[in-house]
A = this chain, B = another copy of it.
Amino acid sequence: MKKVKIGLLGATGYTGIELLKMLENHPHMEVVFVTSEKHAGKTLASFFPNLTGRPFGELRFIPASEAIQIEVDGVFSCLPHQTAAENLLPFIQKGGVKIVDLSADFRIRDAEIYKKYYHEHPNPELLSQAVYGLVEWEKNIKDFNIVGNPGCYPTSILLPLLPLVKAGLIETTGIIADSKSGVSGAGKSPSDATHYVEVNENFSAYKVADEHRHLSEINEQLSITAKLPVNILFTPHLVPMTRGILSTIYAKPKAGVTRDQILACLQNQYAGQACVQVLEKDFPKTAWVANTNRCMFGFKITEDGQTLVIVSVIDNLIKGASGQGLQNMNILFGLEQNCGVI
């Protein structure tokens, strides 16, 4: 079988390297370019010394302007939002290129919401051509050419919540997601906030309750599914560790809803899905999914029957970014969904 030719825009960050590590062993894809404006001309191994002696180590970064000349079947963008849409536009216009964008630029259907949380969208007309690629939830990914790859926090929150909302098992008001993330979610650029001494032996909240941009996609997806406006509270926290997200989610079961109904709903949704595990008894820990593409969740209804508590974990760089991105690319090319995904 001829291999799918893959390009990577913006390959010097954490999600880029994770993608490359998976693509190195992918039986049906080959990387034909990696871009970096700043490091153009250098080899990957000179930037990621851990790649020394590995197949991709000798690949060289090129600028995006050159990349557009190269024949390619699929493009991943690991660029930040706005830059992503700008750099993907030529590939979209060129046609015949399938795209998975890891930024927020194609996650939102409503340009007004995008504007509220980010800024004016550079190409609002493209939003309807893209799909929100929450792999184990969205059935129609293969019908699109542009995938907005879900954010890390939203992946951990939506996978357990969407089936329950769709089935009408929980109230859509009063939902709280109290999330905790490792530091790699903040990206590779050094800042006061990512300085080792600032993070180590420290735990903090940020963008408390109604401020974080990921609320845009969380609320849009919940609202689409509920067919009414849903607004949850979402407080992210920074954990002194490199990888992993744990979301503790509080919701109110509808009157009479039992634990068994919740369990059946979630198990039905994710039956046969290797990358989503519904635990019957345990609450998962982030280390259980580190370096894997899996989302695991456990849950309980409190003794008074008033609250459903879900604990959901993912590796923010894999299921929360590159792993889910590769699942999406597999789907776009009709490959087995989890092919080459760790």
Contacts and interface: CB of A to CB of B under 8 A. Distances in A.
A226 interface: no
A201 B244 CA distance: 8
Copies in the complex: 4
A285 B203 contact: yes
Interface stretch (A99-107, A164-172, A302-310, A325-333): A302-310
A210 B302 contact: yes
B204 A201 contact: no
B203 A180 contact: yes
Interface string A275-307: 001010011111111111010100010111001
A255 interface: no
Interface in A237-256: 237, 239-244, 246, 248, 250
A200 B197 CA distance: 11
B50 A202 contact: no
A208 interface: yes
Interface residues of A, number: 69
Contact of A201 (B190, B243, B309): B243
Given A202-B241, A203-B244, A231 B197 contact: no
A195 B197 contact: no
A146 interface: no
A279 B184 CA distance: 27
Interface of A: 14, 49-50, 52-54, 174, 176, 178, 180, 182-184, 188, 190-192, 194-206, 208-210, 231, 233, 235, 237, 239-244, 246, 248, 250, 274, 277, 279, 282-292, 294, 296, 300, 302-304, 307, 309, 311
25 contacts: A49-B285, A49-B288, A176-B176, A180-B180, A188-B197, A190-B190, A190-B192, A196-B196, A196-B240, A197-B242, A198-B287, A200-B241, A200-B242, A201-B241, A201-B244, A201-B287, A203-B244, A204-B246, A206-B283, A209-B307, A209-B309, A210-B303, A210-B304, A237-B246, A240-B241
